[in-house]
Chain A
Amino acid sequence: MDLNFLLLVIVFLPVFAGLVALFTGHIPRLCRWVSLILSIIELSLIILLFFLDLKPVAGPTGTWLMAVDYPWLTGLGARFSLGLDGLSLMLIWLTAFVNIICILISWRTITMKVGSFYFFLLFLEGCLMGLFLATDLLVFYLIWEIQLIPMFFLVGIWGHHNRIYASIKFMLFSFGGSLFMLIALVALYTLHGQQTGEYTFALYQLTQTHLSPVVEGFLYAAFLLAFAIKTPLVPVHTWLPDVHTEAPTAGSVDLAGILLKTGFYALFRFAFPLFPGAAEASMPLLVALGLVGMFYAGWIALAQTDIKRLVAYSSIGHMGLMIIALGVWNVMAMSGSFLQLINHGISTSALFVMVGMLDERLDSRQFSDMGGLWKKMPVFGGFFLFFALSALGLPGLNNFVGEILILIGTFQVQPVVGILAFVGVLLTVIYILTMVQKCLFGEALEERRVWDVDLHEILILVVLAVPVVLIGLHPGPILRLFESSLQHVMFHAPLLAQGLGG
């Protein structure tokens, strides 16, 4: 049976669910349940894909595990095409998973404009699904821009007191980057059309465009800028801490859990195959930016007084490590960084969830208002410590597997970078332990009334903790999924494949 239509369902079900949520918004209870149930259906659909035993099939849009391809704007040669491979499968799983977490944590905290809130949340999920599956550049670009809208409103309406500044900053940064990408995209489209007479936005066709090194360099730079802002790489990262601090918990979770991954993903999926020569030339730059990001953000994180900002900076540091892997371009490091996308999505989301819970109780995110919380909320403390350990890469938990693969893989190709990266991981340990210390340990502040996590919250945390342990102890199946993605790149870009080896 041809199950490829499932991809369409996966993309449009959340959008549909969002509309339902919008129209049931006047009955908040119903709206929440509808959103939750539809999201669970979405997640089950994706989990179903894991069990289908999919095999890569060569089609008109390339070799994918599953693909759909429909004519869309025929005049432009744009087609609506989606493709699934191991990496995108894991990322859409992550998206659906994180989205359920978002719905659950907003269950009681969001009381204003419930319908619109869930609409934006689900609409964002739909966008991200499309983003991770798109194989046509026009589709990709449109979704890339549209996904800003729900995020913009999530921060701007339900955020904290300085939300307008944050949401506009977010918008301007993202827009600034992607405008250049648009120009490059149109240029590529035109060049390809001139060369072959066939105007198309299909990734597979466009990778075969002949470009002079200079043109390729410029076009690649434009793409890189857009994706670097999203990742974010130092020095275009300053929007992230601001947006995180102002965003509602669900917004932060979505942002850290998934949105940051789109930059890395797009770099790997689009920019690298489209401009292999320039990409290869840029690898030392990527490594350098990654290292700088890792040290710089890790260092700054220590000085933070706002716990949410600290977690935001830790995201930048973690993304830096993944970018290093992209720059050293080695099978082990790449597999590790793919896994790390997922791991970071889970662990950092969990930390943001817990910070949100703290904020609810203390009405503050300043370290000066915390301390000694373990005494009053031991279960919370246990979970917080657990996720903090996951973030600092304790072996046996998820982050370690990704990190050690990146580190060892990096060392095989560029020992010096590998050693620096090993040292960089030490910074993570320092600030994470400091965070735990300032938050949980020390003298308890007596006058404050806090309550430990209740059953509803424990449920969320357990759901988050399960994959942390599972990936930490048995990452095999996921790593095997990524093999197909790496082969895919080899297929698309033989030039890059040589460097990848293995």
Chain B
Amino acid sequence: VEIILLLMLLFPLTGGLINMVSAGRLPRRLSGAVACLAIFGALVMAVIGFVRLGEGSFVVPIVDWVSVGHFSTSFAFLYNPLAGIMALMVTFVSFIIHLYSASFMREDTDYCRYFSYLNLFVFSMLMITLSENLLFFYLGWEGVGFCSYALVGFWYEDPEKAAAGRKAFVVTRIGDVALGIAIALTYFLFGSLSLTHIYGHLGVLTPIMTMALGLLLLGGAMGKSAQLPLTVWLPDAMAGPTPVSALIHAATMVTAGAYLLMRMFPVIKLSPFALATIAGVGAFTTMYGALGALGQRDIKRVLAYSTISQVGYMVLAVGAGDIIGSMFHLLSHAFFKSLLFMCSGYVIQAVFEEHDIFKMGNLRRLLPHIYYPFLIGALSLSAFPMIGGFFSKDRILLATFIGPGFIYKVFWLVALLAAFLTPLYTFRMFFTVFQDRPDGRTAEQIKPVPNFMAYILWPLALLALGDGLLNLPFGPGKDWLAHYLSVVKGSVVHLPAPPGYELYMTVGSGAVIVAVLIFTYIFYRPPGPSFSAPRLQAFLFEGLYLDKLYYHVFVVPYERLASILWEYVDEGGIDEGLDGAAESVEMLSRGLGFWATGRLSTYVKMLFVGLTVFFSALALQWFLW
């Protein structure tokens, strides 16, 4: 067990270090090969782990890390089905992304740095996945934060892109403050940071403390998973290379927050208030993301807002007490979103780095290779009946609907409406990009892109298409994923829904989604919708002005106060005051005599005079006694 888990981590770490130390001197092919092989190694280990370790839970301590007195943390792994399936997903999706990157970055000169960060990203994510204690978890957590910083700002020569990286880091760090406090509180309550210890000593928690802990953990998850109100970094994170967006949005970073909540679910579920808050944050974020996505023109930003929305479902599922649903959606989302991002990366390269969907069009004819993968991804994202995301989203909605109290009905309604908006914004983008339009692209306006980049996406496309099979609500293989995860603490295999609900909801939402899709098709038929509402469009485009609000309420005053503090308080106040005191003394001494010459030697003389006086005083005292 140790070997499997250690190797799983060491492969990407080694790959990352090789690329880093080479300082850009590795040949392109070798650099890419090293990175891909490293992830492939990790993938193999994850598969072996999945096959050999089965549904058991293993705690594997490796080596001691920070220990003082009673405080002790170590590098230790906790492998259980939850971690196993997460590791499998992370390594698999990352592997595809790495292969794709090797082709995508074919013209960038800085490929070594790129692959180095990419490997380290996967390494950090695996640490999050496997860690047994919260401090080790935090190590991976911040590692992911740093790698996203480096990769989002990868094209650092553009100050805006570099600033986007910094924004991602700082905003997620705000969430990390909450997580840090949660860690301190955990140690305060349990006297340990070990997850197994926490699972075993839930009795020490008082309701108030559980609530506090649950909310703090939510705060941590908000940052990384871009939930309200910390959503603002994610759309800007589009500044990075497209495979990086795929990695951040699908396989790694944003799911980390939801994963944290799942890992700590045994604690969270003890507090109904924390659960309801989590569900509320998730539900409103789904709506926020869906609205934001409706207003975007940049293909990647549409996807970014859709990520915010979809991760909202995962968080909502946790809040509704259904971590299996959350994990299920996390998996489907990982497949279809990485698929969509890489498809859009292909499209963007093909249209000469153009991001605006209204300057594309006609691409179905011109880029046939990418059409079907993109279509599958879009259908899956829209939760088209019987395709991947449909089952997972349905399960979450059902779990929310049967949640305790009226408030969950509200959350359900919000999330349901957001679910109906999903096909609208997805296919708004899809039709605009691919359908034939008179003002669309012509064959000359297309740059050839290696077909490899399209072919490599098929494994993901098939998974996105068929991952509903993991947890079918009926038929053979019914609830496989749920059974597999059933040993995880706090999981509910069968939602305790009254009979019939499930069927009605499935059929009902399926029908509405198809209807919305048809509506979208008609509505965005060329030459496009004739109605226009600039105010509303701007409102949606700016992400409901949340970013602007923060900028004016927090960023500007913060910077201004920094200058004011420096110029007026520090330099003008304190320092001037002290200088003034020194000057008056100097004037006094100038009046007194010859030694305030300002020359260095004078001051040394003063020192010796002082010392002499001191010694004479001592000597005198000794004489007198």
Contact = CB atoms under 8 A, between A and B. Distances in A.
Contacts of B625: 193, 199
A300 B566 contact: yes
Contacts of B188: 411-412, 415
A243 B419 CA distance: 61
Contacts of A175: 607, 610
Given A412-B184, A426-B174, A475-B66, A303 B563 contact: yes
Interface stretch (A22-30, A63-71, A428-436): A428-436
B544 interface: no
Contacts of B156: 372, 374, 440-442
Contacts of A75: 619, 622
Contact of B603 (A171, A186, A419): A171
Interface in B49-75: 63-71
Contact of B170 (A332, A401, A409, A429): A429
A396 interface: yes
A479 to B, nearest CB: 5
B620 to A, nearest CB: 11
Contacts of B621: 186, 190
Contact of A378 (B24, B68, B603, B604): B24
B159 A442 contact: yes
A434 B65 CA distance: 31
Nearest to A193: B625
What DSSP secondary structure best describes chain B's contact surface? helix
Most buried by B among A296, A425, A433, A434: A433
A164 interface: yes
A441 to B, nearest CB: 4
A430 B563 CA distance: 15
A444 interface: yes
A331 B66 CA distance: 14
Contacts of B431: none
A495 interface: no
B397 to A, nearest CB: 36
A303 B180 contact: no
B108 interface: no
A299 B560 CA distance: 10
A437 B163 contact: yes
Interface in B562-599: 562-563, 565-567, 570, 574-575, 578, 582, 598
A179 B142 CA distance: 46
Nearest to B191: A412
B157 A442 contact: yes
B369 interface: no
A394 interface: yes
A172 interface: yes
Interface in B600-621: 600, 603-604, 607, 610-611, 614, 617-619, 621
A444 B562 CA distance: 27
A232 to B, nearest CB: 11
**Which bucket holds chain A's interface residue count?**
35 or more
Interface in A289-319: 296, 299-304
Contact of A429 (B157, B169, B561, B565): B169
B66 A401 contact: yes
A369 interface: no
Given A238-B575, A372-B157, A374-B156, A394 B559 contact: no
Given A238-B574, A423-B177, A433 B138 contact: no
A382 B170 contact: no
A455 B224 CA distance: 39
A11 interface: no
B222 to A, nearest CB: 15
Given A193-B625, A408-B71, A437-B166, A76 B618 contact: yes
B44 interface: no
Contact of A172 (B63, B567, B582): B582
A47 interface: no
Contact of B162 (A238, A331, A437): A437
Interface in B180-212: 180-181, 183-185, 187-188
Given A441-B156, A479-B66, A394 B163 contact: no
B173 interface: yes
B146 interface: yes
B613 to A, nearest CB: 10
Interface string A379-406: 1001000000100001110001100110
B608 to A, nearest CB: 10
B153 interface: yes
A399 to B, nearest CB: 12
Given A437-B163, A441-B153, A395 B138 contact: yes
Contacts of B143: 394-396
Contacts of B575: 238
A378 B184 contact: no
Interface in A136-164: 145, 148-149, 152-153, 156, 164
Given A300-B570, A423-B177, A412 B611 contact: no
B139 interface: yes
B71 A332 contact: yes
A405 B622 CA distance: 48
A443 interface: yes
B23 interface: yes
A433 B166 contact: yes
Contacts of B567: 303
A383 B170 CA distance: 21
B603 A168 contact: yes
B135 interface: yes
A54 interface: no
Contacts of A331: 68-69
A418 interface: yes
Interface in A179-231: 179, 182, 186, 190, 193, 199
Nearest to A371: B159
A256 B611 CA distance: 27
A501 to B, nearest CB: 9
B157 A335 contact: no
Given A412-B187, A425-B177, A476-B64, A430 B170 contact: yes
A407 interface: yes
Contacts of A474: 63, 65
Given A75-B622, A296-B565, A502 B69 contact: yes
Contact of B600 (A164, A400, A475): A164
A394 B565 contact: no
Contacts of B149: 433
Given A75-B622, A76-B618, A332 B181 contact: no
B185 A476 contact: no
Nearest to A385: B150
Nearest to A443: B157
A135 B311 CA distance: 60
B173 A76 contact: no
Contact of B559 (A302, A332, A502): A302
Given A433-B170, A441-B153, A475-B66, A426 B24 contact: no
A379 B25 CA distance: 12
A422 interface: yes
A299 B138 contact: no
A500 to B, nearest CB: 10
A332 B617 contact: no
Interface string B395-432: 00000000000000000000000000000000000000
A396 B66 contact: no
B65 to A, nearest CB: 7
Contacts of B64: 476
Given A186-B618, A331-B69, A300 B157 contact: no
B71 A235 contact: no
Q: Which 3 residue pairs spanning A and B have beta carbons closest together?
A: A411-B184, A441-B162, A441-B156
Given A164-B598, A173-B578, 15 more contacts: A75-B622, A76-B622, A167-B600, A179-B610, A186-B621, A375-B157, A378-B113, A395-B139, A401-B66, A409-B71, A426-B177, A442-B162, A443-B157, A474-B63, A476-B64
6 contacts: A152-B604, A153-B600, A173-B578, A375-B157, A404-B66, A443-B157
